[in-house]
Chains A and B, each alone.
Chain A
Amino acid sequence: AQKITQTQPGMFVQEKEAVTLDCTYDTSDPSYGLFWYKQPSSGEMIFLIYQGSYDQQNATEGRYSLNFQKARKSANLVISASQLGDSAMYFCASLLSGGYNKLIFGAGTRLAVHP
């Protein structure tokens, strides 16, 4: 069965510094996709970034980038120049096999950005 592991229940970072949130995945599918979502205290889930297993380059979206290491089955999220508004829960997710864009989520990492 597919599984997503986020080993850091909580992280903190100083404002303006970079932070890496860990995510490892376990899938036997040859083709897969990985997502990162942000959940502020207001509750809504916000899509941040996507990495496909066949993408040649690591995905980047503004201050977010994915450190995708296929051999290690890891897809860590890097947030550069942290801002106070980055304080939130962050979830890593993987597309489940069988279609319909179903996702399986990790347990999440709570990030606190300190001034």
Chain B
Amino acid sequence: DVKVTQSSRYLVKRTGEKVFLECVQDMDHENMFWYRQDPGLGLRLIYFSYDVKMKEKGDIPEGYSVSREKKERFSLILESASTNQTSMYLCASSLDGQPSYNEQFFGPGTRLTVL
């Protein structure tokens, strides 16, 4: 079974703190993704990575950065947390290449509250 794990299910941080959200997958997937989920907006892509040390911005990268030093691990960093970053954060991974599509496998999510 593909497994994607996230370091915390719930996290409470203060405004201005640096926050690290960790994601690990155990299926040797090339692609990894970070989304945030807000009511009425669905999931929005923050960043994704298609290889170690390779990353690209998604739709809403402002206020976030990422790190992928090892293939199985993809970290999301909030350099200075703000209240508008209170959200559910979901990590996902997928194979690349053939067949023409590969489903994304998701972690359980981290509900982050910034006070």
Contacts and interface: CB of A to CB of B under 8 A. Distances in A.
A77 to B, nearest CB: 15
Contact of A102 (B9, B33, B88, B107): B33
B50 A100 contact: yes
A104 B96 CA distance: 17
B103 A43 contact: no
Interface of B is mostly: strand
A35 B41 contact: no
Contact of A33 (B31, B48, B100): B100
A101 B10 CA distance: 28
A107 B109 CA distance: 17
B108 A47 contact: no
A47 B103 contact: yes
Contacts of A25: none
Contact of B104 (A9, A47, A52, A108): A47
Interface residues of B, number: 31
B106 interface: yes
B96 to A, nearest CB: 6
Q: How large is the interface on A (under 10, 10 to 19, 20 to 34, 35 or more residues)?
A: 20 to 34
Q: Which of A9, A35, A103 has the most CB of B within 10 A?
A: A103
29 contacts: A4-B42, A6-B42, A35-B103, A42-B108, A43-B9, A43-B88, A43-B108, A43-B111, A44-B108, A44-B109, A45-B90, A47-B103, A47-B104, A50-B101, A50-B103, A52-B100, A93-B43, A95-B101, A100-B50, A100-B56, A101-B31, A101-B95, A101-B96, A101-B101, A101-B102, A101-B104, A102-B58, A103-B45, A106-B42
A43 B109 contact: yes
Given A45-B92, A100-B48, A105 B42 contact: yes
Interface in A1-57: 4, 6, 9, 31, 33, 35, 37, 42-47, 50, 52
A91 to B, nearest CB: 6
Given A44-B108, A45-B106, A101 B94 contact: yes
Contacts of B101: 33, 50, 52, 95, 101
